[in-house]
Amino acid sequence: MGRMRIALVLLAIVVGTHAAAADTPPHRVGVIPSVEVNVDARRAEALTGTLADALRDKLIVDSIGGGDVTRRLPDGGLPEDCVAQPACIAQTGKRLEVDQLLFLVIVQVGHTIQIDSTWADVATGKTMSRPMIKLDDDARATKVFGDAAIKLLPDEPVRPSKTLVIHEGAGPEVTPRRLTTLTYTTGGVAVVAIGGWAIFAAMTKSAYDKCNDPMHACTSDQISSVHTKGIVADSLGVIGLGAAVATTFLYLRSGGETITVAPAPGGGAAVTFGGVF
């Protein structure tokens, strides 16, 4: 019973940790035009607002940009090297009430807008460059930015999509599933824990068989050691199982859902709602 209680406690910890992660509020992201070349301030502001909207539509984040950001920044904007100064990153994050920032360098070359972005973590000051975005027509900004959202914030979960798709005999289309940092972490825990369970289970079996051999009587300390190995094996097995379940849930949850519209016999249309988690 002692081993069972410990195993159940460890399982509760794993499930509780996953539930807490699922209930964690989305990250707040501020989109800032730090440098503009051949682009006026009003257009840059509009582009950052569109990008913030695209991030919020595609990912589970709370993003702000455009006029919402401009009004909170100091007069004259930020210094161009703010992204290289942890103190400036922290102060800007506090002004915008966000925990992540995307600093944009917006340059117009001919008829093309090139946007280089740098992601910054407000708490640590850590920065990382993101892939460049090219925009030939502002009217297509929402689509271009939406397609780039996952590359700009690769660690954020994808928002389940509701897409109107007309099918004639074809199956529904869903947002592709993907592995996030959290999924890799829980998967790694599962692999390590299950591997440890296999090792300790084998050690426990070997020691147990030895103590049951009349020719090799075990001392009380050796018997206690067998029980300890068994508890460790059971605990690792429960952790591995819990982490594997969490990994599967997170992976399946990363998919989208669809609204499928198909012609119905005799006229009209049939609407089907579908998706995953």
Summarised one tens digit per residue, pLDDT across range 195-204 is 999 998 888 8
Domain span including residue 42: 27-155
Mean pLDDT of 233-254: 85
pLDDT band, residue 22 (cuts 50/70/90): very low
Give residue 94's pLDDT: 94
In a domain, 164, yes or no: no
Do 65 and 145 fall within a single domain? yes
Q: Comparing 5-9, 32-36, 172-176, which segment has the lowest mean pLDDT? A: 5-9
37-96 pLDDT, tens digit each:
999 989 999 999 999 999 999 999 999 999 999 999 888 788 889 999 999 999 999 999
Give residue 13's pLDDT: 53
Q: Is the pLDDT of residue 277 over 70?
A: no
Q: How far is CA 236 from the centre of its chain?
A: 26
Burial class (CB in 10 A: 0-12, 13-18, 19+), 126: exposed
In a domain, 273, yes or no: no
Mean pLDDT of 9-19: 50
- The Cα–Cα gap between 221 and 232 comes to 16
Q: Is the pLDDT of residue 230 over 50?
A: yes
Do 12 and 40 fall within a single domain? no
Mean pLDDT of the residues in the chain: 81
Q: How far is CA 216 from CA 1, 45, 221, 222, 261, in A?
A: 27, 80, 14, 11, 73
In a domain, 234, yes or no: yes
Contact 72, 94 (CB under 8 A): no
In a domain, 258, yes or no: no
Do 140 and 212 fall within a single domain? no
Do 198 and 231 fall within a single domain? yes
CATH number of domain containing 37? 3.40.50.10070
142-158 pLDDT, tens digit each:
999 999 999 999 999 99
- The Cα–Cα gap between 85 and 109 comes to 28
Do 113 and 203 fall within a single domain? no
Most confident among 199-203, 204-208, 216-220, 267-271 (mean pLDDT): 199-203
Residue type, 22: A
Do 149 and 103 fall within a single domain? yes
| One-letter-per-residue 3-state SS of the chain | CHHHHHHHHHHHHHHHHHHHHHHCCCCEEEEEEEEEECCCHHHHHHHHHHHHHHHHHHECCEEECCHHHHCCCCCCCCCCCHHHCHHHHHHHHHHHCCCEEEEEEEEEECCEEEEEEEEEECCCCCEEEEEEEEECCHHHHHHHHHHHHHHHCCCCCECCCEEEEECCCCCCCCCCCCCCHHHHHHHHHHHHHHHHHHHHHHHHHHHHHHHHCCCCCCCHHHHHHHHHHHHHHHHHHHHHHHHHHHHHHHHHHCCCEEEEEEECCCCCEEEEEEECC
159-181 pLDDT, tens digit each:
886 554 444 545 555 556 677 78
Give residue 5's pLDDT: 52
Token pair for residue 55? 């991030």
Domain boundary among 155, 170, 197: 155
Do 98 and 32 fall within a single domain? yes
Burial class (CB in 10 A: 0-12, 13-18, 19+), 148: buried
Q: Is the pLDDT of residue 273 over 50?
A: no
In a domain, 172, yes or no: no
Q: Is the pLDDT of residue 2 over 70?
A: no
Give the residue, 218 or 169, on which the prediction is more confident.
Answer: 218
Give residue 274's pLDDT: 52
Q: Is the pLDDT of residue 1 over 50?
A: no
Give the pairing of strands 100-109 and 28-37: parallel
For the chain, what is the domain count?
Answer: 2
Token pair for residue 272? 């089907």
Do 36 and 54 fall within a single domain? yes
Q: Is the pLDDT of residue 12 over 50?
A: yes
